[in-house]
Amino acid sequence: MFLNSFISEPSRSAFRAQPDDINRPNWVKVGLSFGASIAIWVLLLKQHNEHQAEYERRKAERGS
């Protein structure tokens, strides 16, 4: 009986899902997204340069 009345009543939530307003961007989210993208690219380029230097070092050792 209790379960039936519990299911049939609409529940109230403390949170409401609303679509984002495209006219008012959330600048914190924008900043975090761009910052994370830039950080990932910086790390990727740094790793690439390290790998490139290691490749050139091994290439020079092999050629000698």
- Which residues of the chain, if any, have pLDDT below 70? 1-13, 64
pLDDT at 14: 72
What is the structure's pLDDT at 15? Answer: 76
Alpha-carbon distance 52 to 64, whole Å?
19
17 φ, ψ (degrees, to nearest 5)? -85, 120
Note whether 30 and 38 are within 8 A (CB).
Answer: no
Q: What values do phi and psi take at 19, rounded to 5? A: -70, 150
The pLDDT, as a whole number, for residue 48 is: 98
Q: According to the model, what pLDDT value does residue 10 have? A: 60
C-alpha distances (whole Å) from 14 to each of 8, 11, 17 are 19, 10, 10
Write down the pLDDT at residue 35: 98
Question: Hey, where are the domains in the chain?
Answer: 27-56
pTM: 0.62
